[in-house]
Structure 1
């Protein structure tokens, strides 16, 4: 009789140990689901947000005419290998107009002479067509339509919005964006015979 009791107790203990072992195995998948991350997968939402929130520098330049009235804007955006310039303006004379960045961030109407000469950190000659040019601030002519409006986009490789660079538009003293009365011929010094300054905006 004692032998049967002993055997019964041994079997009961065996079932208890087996149940404990099953419980541990059942919990393993839960732990993997809650805490483990498969190698090679990026699941951290904070890290993804940081990547998505990275933005290159940009600025909007407000252009005004010689009477101090707004005529449009130029949006400057730093791209990977160029500066993107998006110009949208109105109430300008029809035709081609010289378009340049100038060396001082001051736009005093009516003549905007306060903007100084062209932005030219490398001491180059003026003109996109000049063999020793261009100035960093030289841009293609704007073409204004019969209705007095213009909407154009340029990509310029020798300018940047990144501070500390030689060709940065945020250099000491600032810079400005100027529209001239006449077309720039692309080679005549110092400004391509582009005439008076009819609109100006500070890069700030």
Structure 2
């Protein structure tokens, strides 16, 4: 009789232990999944900032610039109106200060790695702000899209962080060789990248 009572009691104890163990394992798995989800969210975090461009140097050039950071890369999309038809240079400058009428309050090109001016990706060097040229059509409208993993929005790496900088559109074309700025001419539109 004692064996018969002990058997169900043992089974009950074994089941209780198994349930507790299963619950503990489920909780640990749940915590691991939550941590993995947070890590994935951090990796695919999307951040977007958008700014209006304002005319400078007696121009009528207006526009909008959007920066989106996703999966470790920043994409700049910009559209403009009021340009003269043809090519225009666009750069990131070192200060988010568009207060002067000629846009020179933004300082020089953003160049945190102290490289010579050049075309983006050139082995001879280039500024982190050396975006390049884009085309305006016969109606004075132009767009540009540019993407790089060498920028970030608000990160701690000052050689990548674009916050606190300015976007400048120039009247002329960047020749990619003249130092320090590519002889692109007057600054005709400006926006500060302030988050």
Provide the TM-score with structure 2 as the length reference: 0.73
Describe the superposition over 1:118-174 as per-residue Cα deviations: whole angstroms up to 9, x where unpaired: 22334433221887542232112122334444343223465444335345435xxx4
Q: 1:95 maps to what in 2?
A: 86
Q: 1:187 maps to what in 2?
A: 177
Contact 2:93 2:165 in 1 (8 A): yes
Contact 1:59 1:76 in 2 (8 A): yes
- Structure 1 pair 190/76, CA: closer, same or farther in 2 (3 Å)? farther
Describe the superposition over 1:87-122 as per-residue Cα deviations: whole angstroms up to 9, x where unpaired: 221313232111111122201253212112222334
**1:169 matched to 2:145:** no
**Structure 1 unaligned residues grouped into runs of 5+:** 1-10
How far apart, CA to CA, are the structure 2 residues paired with 1:137 and 1:76? 16
Give the alignment partner of residue 106 of structure 1, picking from 90, 97, 103: 97
**1:140 matched to 2:140:** no
The alignment of Structure 1 onto Structure 2 pairs a total of residues equal to: 186
How far apart, CA to CA, are the structure 2 residues paired with 1:131 and 1:25? 69
Shift of 1:195: 1.6
Describe the superposition over 1:57-97 as per-residue Cα deviations: whole angstroms up to 9, x where unpaired: 654343222379852113153753xx523222131323211
The Cα RMSD (Å) is 3.3
How far apart, CA to CA, are the structure 2 residues paired with 1:31 and 1:194? 72
- In our comparison, the structure showing a higher alpha carbon Rg is 1
Structure number with higher strand proportion: 2
Contact 2:81 2:142 in 1 (8 A): no
SS at match of 2:190: strand
SS at match of 2:65: strand
Provide the TM-score with structure 1 as the length reference: 0.71
